[in-house]
Amino acid sequence: MTKQPRSSAILVTGGAGYIGSHVVLQLVEAGERVVVLDDLSTGFRDAVIGAELVVGNVGDRGLVSRLFHEHDVDTVMHFAARTIVPESVADPLRYYGNNTCATRNLLECCRDAKVKQIVFSSTAAVYGTPEGGRASEDTPTAPINPYGSSKLMSEWMLRDLAAAGGPRYVALRYFNVAGCDPEGRIGQSTKNATLLVKVACEAALGKRRHLSIFGTDYDTPDGTGVRDYIHVVDLARAHLDALKYLRNGGVSTRLNCGYGHGYSVREVLAAVGRAHGGAVPFVEEPRREGDPPSLVAVAARIRATLGWTPHHDDLDFIARTAMAWERKLD
């Protein structure tokens, strides 16, 4: 049965990117009216399925105000950002400009247009290197790179604006997002990727000579870094759950998005190897600067608050869907 579209629209910034496009797909399938704003600096036009794409920048207040007005926007999902940690260290002002200043302009438009709710794409990088490698939402925030700081500053603006009567919000702090749409409609097409699962798939398929394992002497079970890998479809679902929560009057909050357990780099390579049907070529290298040994979510609150239930907590499934998409890309 086709659902009747709602009259107010949801503006999804960065909806042509990897995570944003998976959220757009689920919103459209749920019968929502979606408008995507993306400057296509890292996103792809054909990743936007079933929604109108407006090419432009979220920092452009004139454009954003016009979109709010024309489409009767009552909800914003804000993904548009730069997300590469080493790049943020090399060029911090770009990150504060793109991620923090642009968000400030977007929020001003949200306030003026009386937008009701915002779902914000935040990151586990706000925690820096927490004690014991696990972070709950009550763990003090202490980012160790400009990427994490730029996102934390955006969270603070959201918090302060909400306290001043602005939109209510949910900030979702993503751990390590991976995998692709299981139906193969969209995926991670990012150029010059740095994220482990994507790089491993490229190495398996011979698109790179090998993968570098950054650090084999960490105090972890096999000496390599441990992370909480979450399938992008489960992550996307958390955004729809957050939307429902806010529509039902939920209070503003910040929630971890992870499964609550971690895998090492070697375990990820083994899973990608199984998905590929052959080993992933790798070399061992020194630690990458700024990498915590282990970063895993304490992930109870999102389930309790949003009723979020993951369906793809399976590293092999993550690897298989990522590999299937990588094969489709030339």
CB closer to ligand UD1, 227 vs 312: 227
> What residues have CB less than 8 Å from 49, skipping those under 6 apart?
21, 24, 25, 28, 185, 186
Distances (CA, A) of 126 to 143, 205, 232: 5, 33, 20
* Residues 257-296 within binding reach of ligand UD1 (CB under 6 A): 265, 288, 291-292, 295
> Is 25 a residue that touches ligand UD1 (CB under 6 A)?
no
CB closer to ligand UD1, 106 vs 295: 295
> Is 199 a residue that touches ligand UD1 (CB under 6 A)?
yes
> How near is the Cβ of 273 to ligand UD1 at its closest, in Å?
15
* AA letter at 170: V
Task: Write the interaction track for ligand UD1 spanning residues 218-257; mark x where CB under 6 A is met and - where it is not.
Answer: -------x-x------------------------------
> How near is the Cβ of 71 to ligand UD1 at its closest, in Å?
29
Q: Which of 34, 213, 230, 242 binds ligand UD1 (CB under 6 A)?
A: 213
> Is 135 a residue that touches ligand UD1 (CB under 6 A)?
no
> Is 212 a residue that touches ligand UD1 (CB under 6 A)?
yes
3-state DSSP of 173-195: EECEEECCCCCCCCCCCCCCCCC
CB closer to ligand UD1, 214 vs 317: 214
CB closer to ligand UD1, 75 vs 224: 224
**H or E stretch including 284?**
strand 282-285
Exposure class string for 9-20: b at 16+ Cβ within 10 A, else e: bbbbbbbbbbbb
> Is 124 a residue that touches ligand UD1 (CB under 6 A)?
yes
> Is 139 a residue that touches ligand UD1 (CB under 6 A)?
no
> Is 176 a residue that touches ligand UD1 (CB under 6 A)?
yes
Distances (CA, A) of 299 to 21, 184, 195, 246, 310: 24, 28, 22, 20, 11
Q: Are 197 and 318 in contact (CB under 8 A)?
A: yes
| Options 61-69, 82-90, 93-101, 320-328: segment touching ligand UD1 (CB under 6 A) | 82-90
> Is 194 a residue that touches ligand UD1 (CB under 6 A)?
yes
Q: What is the CB-side half-sphere exposure of residue 135 using CA atoms within 13 A?
A: 28
> Is 179 a residue that touches ligand UD1 (CB under 6 A)?
no
Distances (CA, A) of 230 to 28, 258, 310: 22, 6, 9
Q: Whole-angstrom Cα distance, residue 73 to residue 33?
A: 9
**H or E stretch including 168?**
strand 168-174
Give the tokens for residue 6. 């709602």
| Options 2-10, 13-21, 184-192, 195-203: segment touching ligand UD1 (CB under 6 A) | 195-203
Phi, psi of 74 (to 5 degrees): -115, -5
Q: Which residues are catalytic?
A: 147
Q: Are 35 and 74 in contact (CB under 8 A)?
A: no
| Options 5-13, 92-100, 155-163, 206-214: segment touching ligand UD1 (CB under 6 A) | 206-214
> Is 85 a residue that touches ligand UD1 (CB under 6 A)?
yes
**Interacting residues toward ligand UD1 by CB under 6 A:** 83-85, 123-125, 148, 174, 176, 194-196, 199, 211-215, 225, 227, 265, 288, 291-292, 295
